[in-house]
Structure 1
């Protein structure tokens, strides 16, 4: 039982984070996220690559110094990311990431909302062709009809369940978001 305690505790702590977004999106939050993301992009372009130290049994002392240096560099970078998030009004880089996930989900839901009518029309046309085919046996028509209806159901399940307020906020900033993502 003792081996399960830590994983269950971790699951209990992080499950609420996965279940609900931090808060509903609005234009100001998206603007702050855009500014923070742009700053992070500029910052990351200036950062040196952190090299993974090579472990060599003969150079244990040198290797441990390299490991220590790499850990310190990663810690410094994490601190700078936290500072960038704070400058843009976020409590932490985790919150910044959560907002980014909400934005991505809302963008995906909007894209599905736009594309779904055309995909539905194509499915309807395929169904009609099947029904109109005089050479196709009834059993085959039923099988094809079922397969197309399963595709329709899958299409509807592809769109994430996103609050309308999030979709509206993202819709109002689509041009800015597209500019960021297309770079």
Structure 2
């Protein structure tokens, strides 16, 4: 009997590994759909004003966001908000099955876009962060508590850099042709 349990566990593990490894590629239509949905959502800014206020209050208490799930975390935060149904309508028009599907795609698009923006700067930034941490550790004028507090403050930036560095190359290739359009949409008032 133990061999059956082992085989069942091995088979389930293999199935999970296979399904995880074959995650859907970030395609041109998905990227375009995400960008066009963002553009449409921006035109509805007044309609989402309450939502922005609600999320702004929560974000102020949350600290550094998890960049690998920034969009899907936002979708989760307002699942019970009246604007959720409106978001569902918009993202459905742009080819998404649900706001959660849209959020997951947005996570990948934004992480890849941040990686594109950081390319060429990343090694220098990492060196600067390492140097700053060393300066904190070696500063005789800081107490242990102050050093710990400063390290914690920098920790969010270190985690963000690590997350950006983990953006899949395939996602970066899919997003690169749209980087300027993403920048224009996110910088628009």
| TM-score for both structures, normalised by structure 2 | 0.49
Could you tell me how far 1:121 is from its partner in structure 2? 7.9
Q: Does 1:116 align with 2:122?
A: yes
Match of 1:160 in 2: 165
Q: Is the 8 A contact 1:22 1:98 kept in 2?
A: no
Question: What is the SS of the residue equivalent to 1:114?
Answer: coil
Match of 2:25 in 1: 24
Q: Which runs of structure 2 are paired with 1:38-53 in the superposition (5 Å)?
A: 38-47=39-48, 49=50
Q: Deviations over 1:64-117 (max 9, x none)?
A: xxxxxxxxx944x32221111111110001111111111111122223322024
Equivalent-residue separation in structure 2 for 1:44 and 1:20 (angstroms): 37
- After superposition, the Cα gap between the structure-2 partners of 1:28 and 1:120, relative to the gap in structure 1 and judged at 3 Å, is same
Equivalent-residue separation in structure 2 for 1:47 and 1:109 (angstroms): 29
- After superposition, the Cα gap between the structure-2 partners of 1:160 and 1:20, relative to the gap in structure 1 and judged at 3 Å, is farther
RMSD: 3.7
Match of 1:81 in 2: 87
How many residues in Structure 1 have an aligned counterpart in Structure 2?
117
Q: Which runs of structure 2 are paired with 1:1-183 in the superposition (5 Å)?
A: 23-47=24-48, 49=50, 74-75=81-82, 77-119=83-125, 157=162, 159-183=164-188
* Unaligned residue ranges in structure 2 (runs of 5+): 1-19, 55-79, 132-157
Higher-Rg structure is: 1
Equivalent-residue separation in structure 1 for 2:113 and 2:181 (angstroms): 12
Q: Deviations over 1:49-73 (max 9, x none)?
A: 3899xxxxxxxxxxxxxxxxxxxx9
Equivalent-residue separation in structure 1 for 2:89 and 2:165 (angstroms): 31
| TM-score for both structures, normalised by structure 1 | 0.51
Q: Is the 8 A contact 2:112 2:164 kept in 1?
A: no
* Unaligned residue ranges in structure 1 (runs of 5+): 1-18, 53-72, 127-153
Could you tell me how far 1:44 is from its partner in structure 2? 3.4
